[in-house]
């Protein structure tokens, strides 16, 4: 009995993996086509945003702020925030755009959300590694002192973004008004993302309020993993992890509700 259950479980995962792979190829072809650099745009888009903002900050604020390189500081903050903005925006109306595929029994509504998020995640990771490697050669980016903490912080950040996507996708199906508010909301969230400042640079009162943000805790982890003892970081791993789990449960319940009422075209 146990072996049979395990075999069915493995077969289910194998089929689901093939579905996600096929949906990713379809999504990449739909968004980027086969012309120019094709799917590499998933890396170039975050690079353009982060590079432009880092250049502007370099001319406005000088080479360093609080003893750390301004270019590296902006890059480590802006690429994750780009993942948040693009990931949430791509989740809007994702069911409507892929409703024709729901005729296939193996395709689930969660696959659409996960595939779009996974594409943004891969693009952000590629951009992060690429630009950091280039900047290291020019002594504009430090070699991470704790790569495990850096990766752990990035994964927690990504997990929270994914949990938000699980909520935004079904809500956008339930109300078209949400689509109008998403761009504004993603901009409003930037001051609470840890992009512009470290928690140690703030007053104790401001720091206490800002550390309620899961984004800030994950961002502090990433920067601590890069600069190590050179900076003072404040973070609580259970904040982004707990918030992500709660948001995921809510999002899965909303997705289940929407799937029952979704009209397949």
d(CA 195, CA 240): 16
The pLDDT of residue 182: 80
Compute the average pLDDT of residues 77-104: 81
Helix axes 2-32, 41-61, angle to 10 degrees: 70
- In percent, the amount of the chain with pLDDT more than 90 equals 26
Higher pLDDT, 111 or 154: 154
3-state secondary structure of 69: strand
pLDDT band with cut points at 50, 70 and 90 for residue 67: confident
d(CA 25, CA 21): 6
**What six digits make up the tokens of 62?**
């000088």
Place of tokens 């989740």: 91
d(CA 200, CA 6): 49
Of 226, 88, 111, the residue nearest 158 (C-alpha): 88
Higher pLDDT, 9 or 135: 135
Q: In 3-state terms, the chain is what percent helix, strand and coil (to 5)?
A: 80, 0, 20
The pLDDT of residue 227: 93
Higher pLDDT, 59 or 212: 212
d(CA 92, CA 179): 6
d(CA 165, CA 91): 6
Strand partners, 158: none
Model's pTM, two decimal places?
A: 0.89
Q: φ and ψ at 228, to 5 degrees?
A: 60, -130
pLDDT band with cut points at 50, 70 and 90 for residue 52: confident
Compute the average pLDDT of residues 125-151: 90
DSSP string across 144-204: PS-HHHHHHHHHHHHHHHHHHHHHHHHHHHH-TTHHHHHHHHHHHTGGGTTSS--GGGS-H
The pLDDT of residue 61: 80
CB 217 within 8 A of CB 211: yes
CB 195 within 8 A of CB 77: yes
Q: φ and ψ at 64, to 5 degrees?
A: -140, 160
């Amino acid at each position: 009995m146990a072996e049979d259950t395990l075999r069915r479980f493995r077969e289910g995962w194998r089929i689901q993996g093939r579905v996600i792979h096929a949906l990713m190829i379809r999504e990449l072809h739909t968004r980027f086509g086969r012309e120019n650099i094709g799917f590499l745009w998933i890396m170039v888009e975050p690079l353009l945003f982060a590079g432009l903002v880092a250049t502007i900050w370099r001319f406005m604020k000088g080479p360093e702020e609080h003893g750390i390189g301004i270019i590296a500081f902006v890059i480590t903050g802006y690429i994750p925030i780009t993942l948040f903005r693009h990931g949430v925006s791509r989740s809007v109306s994702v069911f409507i755009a892929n409703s024709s595929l729901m005729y296939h029994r193996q395709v689930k509504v969660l696959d659409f959300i996960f595939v779009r998020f996974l594409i943004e995640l891969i693009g952000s990771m590629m951009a992060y590694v690429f630009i950091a490697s280039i900047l290291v050669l020019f002594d504009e980016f430090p070699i991470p002192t704790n790569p495990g903490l850096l990766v752990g912080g990035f994964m927690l950040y990504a997990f929270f973004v994914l949990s938000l996507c699980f909520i935004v996708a079904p809500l956008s199906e339930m109300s078209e008004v949400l689509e109008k508010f998403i761009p504004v909301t993603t901009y409003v969230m930037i001051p609470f993302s840890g992009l512009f400042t470290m928690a140690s640079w703030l007053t104790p009162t401001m720091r206490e309020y800002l550390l309620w943000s899961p984004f800030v805790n994950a961002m502090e982890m990433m920067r601590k993993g890069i600069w190590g003892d050179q900076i003072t970081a404040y973070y609580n791993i259970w904040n982004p992890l707990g918030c992500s789990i709660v948001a995921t449960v809510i999002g899965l319940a909303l997705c289940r509700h929407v799937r029952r009422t979704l009209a397949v075209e």
